[in-house]
Amino acid sequence: MARNCCLCPEGLAMFLDRRVVVQTKCGEVKGILRAFGETFLEVEEEGYKLELTVIQCSQVCFVRLLG
């Protein structure tokens, strides 16, 4: 069964404005979690140019903090 929304978005509140890695079906996205909703996460990617990436929750395998 496909997931169309995050199972527990309120659990991500402690991750806001912190460095995270989001493991997706297509790979990893590293950056700062800037926002989340019922169906998406927004991550400001690290790198030579800052970029805001929107990830659909159906693509997320897990989210963890970076040290």
pLDDT value for 35 = 93
pTM for the predicted model, two decimal places: 0.80
Domain-embedded: residue 53: yes
pLDDT value for 54 = 93
Domain-embedded: residue 3: no
pLDDT value for 9 = 61
Number of other residues whose CB lies within 10 A of the CB of residue 50? 10
**What residues of the chain score a pLDDT lower than 70?**
1-10, 48
User: What does the block give as tokens for 12?
Assistant: 């991500």
Range of the domain at 53: 9-65
Domain-embedded: residue 59: yes
pLDDT value for 48 = 65
pLDDT value for 57 = 85
What CATH code is carried by the domain that includes residue 35?
2.30.30.100
pLDDT value for 62 = 87
